[in-house]
Amino acid sequence: MTRHRHPLAAAVLAALLVAAPGARADVLVVDSAGGAGVDFTELPAAVTAASDGDVILVRGAGPHDGAVIDGKGLVIAADGPPAGCSGTFLVRNLPAGSPVTLAGLVPHELFPGLQAQLSLEVRNSDAPVLARDCAFYTNGFLVPPVLATGTTTLTLVDCVLENISTSLALPGVSVQGATVFVQGGEITGGPGQQFPPPAGPGGAGAEVTSGLLVVDGAAIHGGPGGRGILTGPDCNDGGTGGPALSLLSATARVVVRDATLVPGAGGLADDPSSCSDGAPGPVTSVAAGLLTTVPDTARALSLPALVREETPVTLTVGAPAGEALLALLSLDTAPVFDQGSKLALHPAAPLQVVFAGLVPASGTILTTAPFLPIGTESVTVHAQGAFVDGGGTLRLGNAIDFVVLESGI
């Protein structure tokens, strides 16, 4: 595979870092095994001790407990393999200018095939939250895998959300007054109620009570209907599958671009000779609100969440070969959704715009992480790809936050 080098990107990024000393942050290391170079053995203690803007590196197999991030911006990222966690990450009360980034956090494996529960709640925050390369999984929690409510902007990039509770039929993601961007990844709603009968319908993959949900290049599945259980001589039909998308009020808005929407399967009947399986769910359920489908293909740009200074970095590009790629870089983020174009700009002004060349057929571009200013342990960069086709049409790809770390960390 041919990789295309682009040294200019590193040079512009280096200039961006030097120009903004206020963006530099301390780094805390969490490893449950302890040892040299480790600051904390428990993640909640590190979150409590951290200052606004700090970076927390999570190392080792875990398990790591979830944490409450209240009123301060942080980066919490797996340094190495995905970090196995359990419980809830609750993010709330973020002031403007203090965003939170979560990267590489997944449910801890209790036993082969059995995962711990891990959920994300984002509430009433004036700064955005971005989760990338994460997985959230619930089985019996009273909340869905991801809940965003109030004055909140949440972006999920290449995340997997799954609810397998057999009694609550909760959605995979619930939007309650917030703005949520789903960029890549996969979301699955919970199964319908099994007991007590009758069997219930499956949960929605994504449920919008109010607010805005924008889906780009993701797969969203409705939950399966509940199983029809035999109760004495009675036979109960299986439940109806859940919708991929559910809009519940006049203030619910959903925009879909290049998404795979799959209705939930009908629930099975215990005795198919005397009762029936449930019907598949609808693709969408729109009680009220506005659902808009954009006939276009999503664009994507990815790179590791953590890069060490002066080391090679591979950019992976999901776009047609030959399109021009512009990398939009900033040390701040404030997502803005344009109703006319149905595009969202995530990095905030001032922006550095780097022409990274034409998208190669290989889909990969090799560059080098910049050298950090002396005395700087880390800098968090908020990035996004902008793509221009031969006809001059501009498309914006997914948001992608990453951290440049000092080489010795």
Domains of the chain: 26-294 (2.160.20), 300-405 (2.20.130.20)
Residues in Cβ contact with 365 at an 8 Å cutoff, skipping those fewer than 6 apart: 3, 4, 5, 6, 314, 315, 317, 325, 356, 357
Which pLDDT tens digit goes with each residue over 145-200? 999 999 899 999 999 999 887 667 899 999 999 999 999 999 999 999 887 788 89
pLDDT at 23: 55
Contact 142, 169 (CB under 8 A): no
pLDDT value at residue 19: 53
Which tokens hold the place of 184? 């890549």
Q: Counting every residue, how long is the chain? A: 409
Q: ∠300-301-303 over CA atoms, to 5°?
A: 145
- pLDDT of 352 > 70? The answer is yes
pLDDT, one tens digit per residue, over 68-119 is 999 999 999 999 999 999 999 999 999 999 999 999 999 998 888 888 999 9
CA distances to 65, 102, 277, 299 from 405, rounded to whole Å, are: 24, 16, 55, 27
Quote the pLDDT of residue 12: 56
Residue 106 in tokens: 């997944």
pLDDT of residue 139: 81
Supply φ then ψ for residue 332, to 5 degrees. Answer: -145, 165
Which backbone phi and psi does 10 adopt, to 5 degrees? -65, -40
Check: CB of residue 204 under 8 Å from CB of residue 242.
yes
Q: pLDDT grade, residue 376 (50/70/90)? A: confident
* DSSP state, residue 283: S
pLDDT single digits (tens) 12-24: 566 566 555 555 5
For residue 3, the model assigns a pLDDT of 43
Q: Give me the amino acid identity at 84.
A: G
In the predicted structure, residue 355 carries a pLDDT above the cut 80: yes
Cα separation, 289 vs 150, in Å, equals 18
Distance of CA 74 to the CA centre of its chain: 16
Nearest alpha-carbon partner for 53 in 101, 12, 6, 11? 101
- The whole-number average pLDDT for the span 192-217 is 93
Predicted confidence at residue 255, as pLDDT, reads 98
Give pTM, 2 decimals.
Answer: 0.94
Residues in contact with 68: Cβ distance below 8 Å, sequence separation at least 6, in sequence order? 44, 47, 90, 92
The pLDDT confidence band at residue 266, using thresholds 50, 70 and 90, is very high
Q: What confidence score (pLDDT) does residue 16 get? A: 63
Structure tokens at 129: 């939250």
> Count of alpha carbons within 13 Å of 248, Cβ hemisphere only?
12
Greater confidence, 11 or 192?
A: 192
d(C-alpha 285, C-alpha 243), whole Å: 6
